[in-house]
Structure 1
Amino acid sequence: MAGSSHGHTPAAWTGVIIAFIGFCVAGAFMVMAQPVGFWAGIAIVLLGGVVGGIMRMMGLGQKGEHPVHQLAKNEDHAPVRAQS
């Protein structure tokens, strides 16, 4: 995954950070036995996904496939030549 820059975009980072905050909020309110706060935390988690998706549509997500992976795909589909 590291070679493909998977998730190394502002959209991914923002979505994950917002979702992480939501998990922390939901976890804290779950321990305090406060269902309304728990569900508010779950809503924040979902908001992280929405914000990340909107940012991706705005062009702040992954632009395309990494060139190394494109090269590997091209080599996999290259015609096989007999060696003499």
Structure 2
Amino acid sequence: MAGSSHGHTPAAWTGVIIAFIGFCIAGMFMVAARPAGFWVGMAVVLLGGVVGYIMRMMGLGQPKQNHPVHQVADDRTAAGAQG
């Protein structure tokens, strides 16, 4: 994955940061034995996924057709068709 720029977009970073904060909130309240706070933290985790998806739809994610993995596959397919 390191060579494919997977997750190196504002949408990915924002979604993961929000989800991480929610995970920390949920963990803190789980240790404190406060179920309501735990579920609030889990809601923040889900919010991170929603925010990342919305940002991707707004164009802040990496488009699939420009992904390096797809470009390599397309180059191989084109080379096979010519030869």
TM interval, shorter chain, is 0.7 to 0.9
Flag structure 1 segments of 5+ consecutive residues without an equivalent: none
**Partners of 1:35 and 1:43 in 2: CA distance:** 12
| Identity level (%) | 73
Greater C-alpha radius of gyration = 1
SS of 1:8's equivalent in the other structure is coil
TM superposition score normalised by structure 1? 0.84
Alignment match, 1:40: 40
Flag structure 2 segments of 5+ consecutive residues without an equivalent: none
Q: Aligned in 2, Cα 1:25/1:68: closer, same or farther, shift over 3 Å? A: closer
Return the structure number with greater helix share: 2
Deviation at 1:4, TM superposition (A): 1.2
Greater mean deviation of Cα atoms: 61-70 or 39-48 = 61-70
Deviation at 1:75, TM superposition (A): 1.4
Runs of 4 or more above 2 Å deviation: 63-69, 71-74
- Conserved in 2, the CA contact under 8 Å of 1:4 and 1:69? no
Alignment match, 1:55: 55
TM superposition score normalised by structure 2? 0.85
The code of the aligned residue for 1:24 comes to C
The code of the aligned residue for 2:71 comes to Q
